[in-house]
Amino acid sequence: MQKVFDSCYEMDKRCYDEYGLSEDILMEHAARGMSEYIKNHFEPNSSVLIVSGVGNNGADGIVLARGLYGDYDVKLYMPFGVKSDMAKLQLQRATQLGLIVVDEITPCDVVVDAIFGAGLNRELDRDTIKLLQDINTLDAFKIACDVPTGILEDGRVCDEVFGADVTITMGALKKSLYSDSAKEYVGKILCVDLGVSRKMYELTSDTYLLEFSDMRLPLREQKTTHKGTFGHSAIFVGDKEGAGVIAGMASARFGAGLTTLITAQKLTIPHHLMQSDNLPTNTTAIAIGMGLGGYFDDEFLQKNVIDSDIPIVLDADAFYEPKLLNILSQESRKIIITPHPKEFASMWKILTGEVLSIEDIQNHRFDIAKRFSQLYPHVVLLLKGSNMLIAYQHKTYINPYAKSNLSKGGSGDALSGLIVSLLAQRQDTLSCAVNASLALAKASSVYKGASYSLLPQDIVETLANLEAI
């Protein structure tokens, strides 16, 4: 788990004020990090085109050019000249070494975007857009310095964005790199230090990046157990019964001792699942909303769901039902909700009266998750998306591993099944959301089929071998 920040300004300032480091020293280390990546991945004499802007991000690119010069075929392109004092100093040093600045984009093995870094807060001008279009068409490995040009500081993207294979960010991770819009452009994200370790560089943060190493599978380490040891999950099956069956299969596969589908009709289901028209008395966790529709009457829901204190997962159709959303006010209850943006918009309007568009939510995902957590700090929110956000008690956790193969009906139902399984096994709510989301992402990452072919049952089957992967 790594800390994530809005910006690194205060931490850079700390290096200057407390550690006696200069801007020059930080820049040398930023360039060193990029240089080491290139030297570790590309043969000497490979051609490297560095496109530098007018400010300090451009200066990072100039320092990189100086560091590679002599071992690589380096071409430094500065279409807009230099403006910052540091960029001017670095250019002077580079030219004294013999580095020649080129006046056009040329074919290369590697192209480095050092035009704009973190903190971009305006749309790009036409000249920069044309420049990005030209370098994006290069048949070259693409590296972004700090943040790909065209990604704004709040994570929104401009009309044209540098499409990086790797983003090498400086000092600490930035939130802007983990917006859903940015995911298309950042590639693999690496962080390099700036002359001190990240432990010494970083300040406190309320946002964290999850890693697969944070995942804790519900492994059975006790020797004397029975099925009741691992809880009983109850999943309410509605009008679209397939959603509930998928959730039930995921729940059972992920370790719940018992899994019962609550339905008034007789279903044909896998033999390891049970079904009932009443909530079992030994239920330890509930999931409701997946394919629910208007299947259950209000009295049944009031008795078995709303008036209950059993830990609960709300998903899908639950976010359109005011009576079910009243559950969120139950501060002593363990509650996890898993909306996608459209469902969140419906829920938010019911809860607050404020109308949010899907675009509003997607453009401000971190702020939206934070606002929800301020209103309901006892509820775990898992906001679905290309990067899943988990908000709880004023902290936010990013799961960056979701792949596009999950973009298919049933994936969310499987996720709800994973969460309710862990909740039934008596994990705390934050751990349920974190571990289930990582398990879902891991299952999708190791799937061997074509990117379009992943089915919910593939996710369920893959769960059986996650420990060995």
Q: What angle do CA 326, 423, 251 make, to 5 degrees?
A: 110
Residues in the chain: 469
pLDDT for the residue numbered 268:
83
Best CA proximity match to 380, nearest among 432, 332, 330 = 432
* Residue 49 CA neighbour count, 13 Å, CB half: 22
Structure token digits, residue 127: 């000249």
Residue 437 near residue 406, CB atoms below 8 Å: no
Instruction: Classify 64 in phi/psi space as left (phi over 0), alpha (psi -120 to 50) or beta.
Output: alpha
Give the separation between CA 54 and CA 82, rounded to whole angstroms.
Answer: 4
pLDDT at 447 over 80: yes
Average pLDDT over residues 233-238: 93
pLDDT for the residue numbered 269:
84
Residue 392 near residue 385, CB atoms below 8 Å: no
Within 8 A by CB and 6+ apart from 431, the residues are 216, 422
Domain 213-468: give its CATH architecture.
3-Layer(aba) Sandwich (3.40)
Give the separation between CA 436 and CA 315, rounded to whole angstroms.
Answer: 14
C-alpha distances out from residue 111 to 53, 140, 287, Å: 14, 6, 49
Domain with CATH 3.40.1190.20 in the chain: 213-468
Instruction: For the full predicted model, state whether its pTM sits above 0.85.
Output: yes
Identify the H or E element spanning 250: helix 241-253
Within 8 A by CB and 6+ apart from 87, the residues are 52, 54, 55, 56, 58, 59, 62
* Residue 237 backbone dihedrals phi, psi, to 5 degrees: -100, 125
Q: Report long-range pairs for 33-36 (Cβ below 8 Å, ≥24 apart).
A: 33/168, 33/170, 33/190, 33/192, 33/193, 34/60, 34/64, 34/112, 34/143, 34/145, 34/168, 34/192, 35/64, 35/67, 35/68, 36/192
Average pLDDT over residues 276-302: 92
Strand order in the sheet with 274-276: 173-174, 2-5, 207-209, 395-399, 388-392, 379-383, 335-337, 312-314, 285-288, 232-236, 258-262, 274-276
* Residue 194 CA neighbour count, 13 Å, CB half: 29
Give the separation between CA 250 and CA 460, rounded to whole angstroms.
Answer: 5
How far the first Cα of the chain sits from its last, in Å, is 19
pLDDT at 468 over 60: no
- By three-state DSSP, how is residue 408 classified? coil
Best CA proximity match to 440, nearest among 390, 377, 367 = 390
How large a percentage of the chain has pLDDT more than 70?
Answer: 100
Structure token digits, residue 16: 């200057």
Average pLDDT over residues 235-256: 92
Q: How crowded is residue 450: how many other Cβ atoms within 10 Å of its Cβ?
A: 8
Domain with CATH 3.40.50.10260 in the chain: 2-205
Supply the CATH classification number for the domain 2-205. 3.40.50.10260
Give the separation between CA 368 and CA 111, rounded to whole angstroms.
Answer: 36
Q: Tell me the pLDDT tens digit for each residue of 248-257.
A: 999 999 999 9
Q: Helices 411-424 and 429-446: crossing angle, nearest 10°?
A: 140
Residue 268 near residue 288, CB atoms below 8 Å: no
Q: Tell me the pLDDT tens digit for each residue of 386-437.
A: 999 999 999 999 999 988 888 889 899 999 999 999 999 999 999 999 999 9
Residue 292 near residue 317, CB atoms below 8 Å: yes
Place of tokens 């030994």: 282
Q: How confident is the model at residue 441 (pLDDT cuts 50, 70, 90)?
A: very high
pLDDT for the residue numbered 222:
80
- Strand 2-5 with 207-209, pairing: antiparallel
Best CA proximity match to 264, nearest among 287, 226, 236 = 236
Place of tokens 């007018």: 54
Place of tokens 């050092």: 114
Give the separation between CA 452 and CA 59, rounded to whole angstroms.
Answer: 42
Q: Tell me the pLDDT tens digit for each residue of 143-196.
A: 999 999 999 999 999 999 999 999 999 999 999 999 999 999 999 999 999 999
